[in-house]
């Protein structure tokens, strides 16, 4: 029995995260993410850590006051079907809730997985233009066959402002 923890990514995880993602970007299931790109967006990432081995990643990218995208979701093949994908998505939803962002979407080939987690399919045209700024780097941009799914997080789950965790305190 191995213990897996879902935690925020750290700089030391980046080479292993890039390897996990590369396996799927080679198969065109995910957009390619270089190590530099991951470092620059490290605050967005959560990882699945199996006793020191990075076996899954996901990122939450905020677009605006009420819209965030789940990106770069991957679980290494040998570790799939253990609920890690679900836990990674749920971690993103928690991050969105903590930031008071209520609408989360993904562009995906595994829409059934997301539907299983309470997402529903929306027309890609419904997404705002800025969402496509990353996609222009994809070779499939002009004939994108990904499916857009989104979930509105329950208002009850969105914590009131004063519940946002305070990591440090000072008096000035």
Ligand X SMILES: CC(C)(COP(=O)(O)OP(=O)(O)OC[C@H]1O[C@@H](n2cnc3c(N)ncnc32)[C@H](O)[C@@H]1OP(=O)(O)O)[C@@H](O)C(=O)NCCC(=O)NCCS
> Which one of 38, 102, 106, 148 is in contact with ligand X (CB under 6 A)?
106
Q: Is residue 30 at the binding interface for ligand X, with CB under 6 A as the rule?
A: yes
The site string for ligand X over 63-82 (x = CB under 6 A, - otherwise) reads ----------xxx----xxx
Q: How far is the CB of 36 from ligand X (least distance, A)?
A: 21
Number of residues in contact with ligand X, rule: CB under 6 A?
A: 20
Q: Is residue 31 at the binding interface for ligand X, with CB under 6 A as the rule?
A: no
Length of the chain (residues):
172
d(CA 141, CA 157): 35
Tokens of 171: 């008096």
> Which one of 7, 8, 28, 86 is in contact with ligand X (CB under 6 A)?
86
**Residue found under tokens 């979701």:** 73
| CB 111 within 8 Å of CB 149 | yes
Measuring CA to CA, which residue among 96, 116, 112 is closest to residue 104?
A: 96
Q: Is residue 132 at the binding interface for ligand X, with CB under 6 A as the rule?
A: no
> Which one of 39, 63, 113, 132 is in contact with ligand X (CB under 6 A)?
113
d(CA 110, CA 60): 17
| Backbone dihedral angles phi then psi of residue 130, each to the nearest 5 degrees | -65, -20
> Which one of 40, 43, 65, 83 is in contact with ligand X (CB under 6 A)?
83
What residues have CB less than 8 Å from 13, skipping those under 6 apart? 45, 47, 49, 54
Q: How far is the CB of 164 from ligand X (least distance, A)?
A: 27
Provide the binding-site residues for ligand X, judged by CB under 6 A: 24, 29-30, 73-75, 80-86, 106, 108-110, 112-113, 116
């Amino acid at each position: 029995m191995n213990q897996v923890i879902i935690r925020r990514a750290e700089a030391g995880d980046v080479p292993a995260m890039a390897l996990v993602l590369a396996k799927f970007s080679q198969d065109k299931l995910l957009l390619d993410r270089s190590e530099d790109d991951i470092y620059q967006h490290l605050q967005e990432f959560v990882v699945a850590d199996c006793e020191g081995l990075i076996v899954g990643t996901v990122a939450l990218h905020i677009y605006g006051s009420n819209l965030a995208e789940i990106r770069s979701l991957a679980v290494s093949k040998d570790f799939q079907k253990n609920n890690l994908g679900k836990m990674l998505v749920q971690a993103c939803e928690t991050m969105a809730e903590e930031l008071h962002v209520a609408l989360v979407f993904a562009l995906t080939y595994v829409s059934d997985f997301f539907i299983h987690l309470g997402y529903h399919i929306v027309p890609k045209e419904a997404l705002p233009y800025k969402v496509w700024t990353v996609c222009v780097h994809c070779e499939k941009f002009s004939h994108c066959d990904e499916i857009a799914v989104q979930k509105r997080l329950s208002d009850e789950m969105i914590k009131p402002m004063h519940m946002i965790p305070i990591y440090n305190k000072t008096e000035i």
